[in-house]
Amino acid sequence: MQTMQHKQETVPVQAHVAMVPSPGMGHLIPLVELANRLVLQHNIRVTFIVPDDGSSMKPQKKLLESLPEMISTMFLPPVNFEDLPDNVKMETRIELSMTRSLPAFRDSLKVLVQSELTTGRLVALVVDLFGVATFDVAREFGVPPYIFFTSTAMELSFIFLMPELDEKFACEYKDLPEPVKLPGCVPVHGSDLMDPVQDKNDNVYKWVLYLAKHYPSVAGFLVNSFIELEPGAFKALMEGESGFGVPIYPVGPLVQTGSNIIDNVDDHFECLKWLDQQPSGSVLFVSFGSGGTLSQEQLNELAFGLEMSGQKFMWVAKSPHERASNATYFGVQSIDDPFDFLPKGFLERIKSNGVGLLVPSWAPQIQVLSHGSTGGFLTHCGWNSTLESIVHGVPLIAWPLYAEQKMNAVILTDDLKVALRVQVDENGLVGRDDIAKYARGLIKGEEGKLLRNNMKKLKDAAAIVLSQDGSSTKSLAEVAGIWKNQEKVEN
């Protein structure tokens, strides 16, 4: 039976929403921000029902325990993956985490429905983009399911179009003769479409196609983007040019704010102190997110390239992995000697000349991006990191690794023009000379100035949409009003 953390609440509430994140902190964090806004702005109670894929749940628990009293948590029992091979794909593990948790999820939802007299009527189930498996259970209890789409309107448009593309093309997407033209979006080459759809014979492709065919049955989409960021894509989705007439609510950018929910900030005071000592806008922040990993050869090229650039840099460095670009997605690596994988003499040289700082595995990214000394961000283009960059006005070097990150890079470079995109050579590597060129260009070059100006405009737009009369604030208020009215009607 699941464990439950329930915080005492004396304030009467009008409605109660259950939320189910799929495994990975990258999916939980924006859902937490959505929950915070529902509580603080709309007095809606939230309960998280959290599947357990068997990896360490310590980061998730620490984050969830820090939330306001009107947010409770139910942790489901760990899922058994002993029957899976060690090299199982990330998406397969996420899918099975959800489907194998369904019996426990049903028990949890039943508890919430039966406790409505004390916690408020359960008016909606909000899952992320991988949560389709929960729909039937929600409907069994008369609870309408919604999807909180943690990525772009462009990706949502592609998923809506996927069944049509599947029927139209027999070839792999990477072999398409022409770019895919999604309504309201810049063209996307087939090779830049998200990784899970690149192999039509793979079970992961079939699963994404299954999701696409079931998306039309959802009650609505809350999208972690905003109209001013993707005006064409949202216009097409909301006016029926793409999609299936399902209500669309742009509610982003929802990103972490403040040190109260940032883990281990005190432990990383050294890196913030180092930033304090650097000139304004001089530092390139280098991080591939919680899951991103590089091969040893690529890691060497990155180290030498950063050193050759002559630019100040702060690098969140993780051990190399030869097979997977998302090797740490389900948990942070254990560290003995955190930098023994670096080229010989590299650490000593950057320490002696003060050009760079290495941070093992994790850094307080919000604090780094908001710091005046940070002038650029070399990123894997995960959507959380992308939105954080936009909110703080930091231009980018786009280095996509997995999932939908190549599609994000297309938006950032071809559409918004706030990023330089790395190019791989014939050996599949980004070479040190190019890395040095990107770093110099972003921090000191004329192109970097243009990208910085464009990003400043997006930063201002992001602040406006989240203001009291902003489009995203109004959009969230609209769906919150639907949920509150549903509670009143039922009673």
SS3 93: helix
SS3 373: coil
CA dihedral 182, 187, 191, 197 (to 10 degrees): -10
Residues contacting 289, CB < 8 A, separation 6+: 26, 379, 380, 382, 384, 385
Phi and psi torsions of 19, nearest 5°: -125, 135
- Dihedral sign (CA 196, 198, 199, 205): positive
Q: Does the active-site annotation cover 128?
A: yes
Q: Is 348 exposed, middle or buried (0-12, 13-18, 19+ CB in 10 A)?
A: exposed
Q: Does the active-site annotation cover 27?
A: yes
Rounded Cα gap, residues 477 and 169, in angstroms: 41
**Across the strands, what pairs with 313?**
284, 356
Contact criterion met (CB below 8 Å) for 395 and 283: no
Rounded Cα gap, residues 339 and 317, in angstroms: 8
Rounded Cα gap, residues 220 and 201, in angstroms: 30
Q: Is 179 exposed, middle or buried (0-12, 13-18, 19+ CB in 10 A)?
A: middle
Q: Sheet of 312-317: strands edge to edge?
A: 356-360, 312-317, 283-287, 374-379, 396-398, 419-421
Q: Identify the helix (H) or strand (E) that includes residue 39.
A: helix 25-42
Catalytic residue among 128, 166, 192, 195: 128
Contact criterion met (CB below 8 Å) for 44 and 28: no
Residues contacting 307, CB < 8 A, separation 6+: 346, 349, 350, 355, 356
Rounded Cα gap, residues 378 and 167, in angstroms: 38
Question: CA separation (Å) from 309 to 352, 371, 443?
Answer: 16, 21, 10
Catalytically active residues are 27, 128
